[in-house]
Amino acid sequence: MRCPFCRENKDKVIDSREINEGKVIRRRRECLNCGKRFTTYERVEENPFRVVKRDGRIESFSRKKLLNGILKACEKRPVKIEDIENLIDDIIIQLYQKGEREIPATKIGELVMEQLKKLDSVAYVRFASVYRDFKDVEEFLKEIQTLMKKGENRDR
């Protein structure tokens, strides 16, 4: 592992621990060259499937891209990063369980909205507005009214 400070590749592991119920290993490392400490994360490579976009293009699944989209929806909301990481882990597990090699982006979007609705209704509406491409305020209102009717207005 290269040190992010001096770029040397000699380090020692100071501490290792499992996080996210053993799905990830967090390691604290110390560079043997400059002595600075940094953290790395290990997880099983998660790229067994590809995403079929609405226009027919196919691309590799990207956890980072999914994380960025969810982070934008949760911006300035009282949502913990751990909750977002767990949400993404749950979505990936559901995708693995489907056993499909190519998954429509719409299926992933629906799973994200389903999970966000449980986590934070404002983040859900933000994500839905981009995902469903709301054209005007009427569509926003309709979605919010649907949330309120179902009693799913769980803002923190």
Q: Is residue 1 part of a domain?
A: no
Average pLDDT over residues 80-86: 92
Q: Are 102 and 58 in contact (CB under 8 A)?
A: yes
144 or 55, greater pLDDT: 55
Q: Is residue 15 part of a domain?
A: yes
Residue 131 and residue 88 in one domain: yes
Range of the domain at 86: 50-149
Residue 75 and residue 139 in one domain: yes
Please say if the pLDDT value at position 116 is more than 60.
Answer: yes
Q: Which residue has the tokens 């110390």?
A: 30
CA 129/CA 143 separation, integer angstroms: 9
Q: Is residue 6 part of a domain?
A: no
Average pLDDT over residues 64-85: 93
Q: Is residue 19 part of a domain?
A: yes
Residue 54 and residue 21 in one domain: no
Phi-psi region of 28 (alpha: psi -120 to 50; beta: other; left: phi over 0): beta
Residue 139 and residue 90 in one domain: yes
CA 153/CA 147 separation, integer angstroms: 6
Q: Is residue 4 part of a domain?
A: no
Give percent of the chain with pLDDT exceeding 70.
91
Tokens of 62: 């990207």
Residue 73 and residue 139 in one domain: yes
Tokens of 28: 């604290």
Q: Are 53 and 105 in contact (CB under 8 A)?
A: yes
20-55 per-position pLDDT tens digit: 778 789 999 999 999 999 999 887 765 578 999 989
Q: Please provide the average confidence, as pLDDT, over all residues in the chain.
A: 86
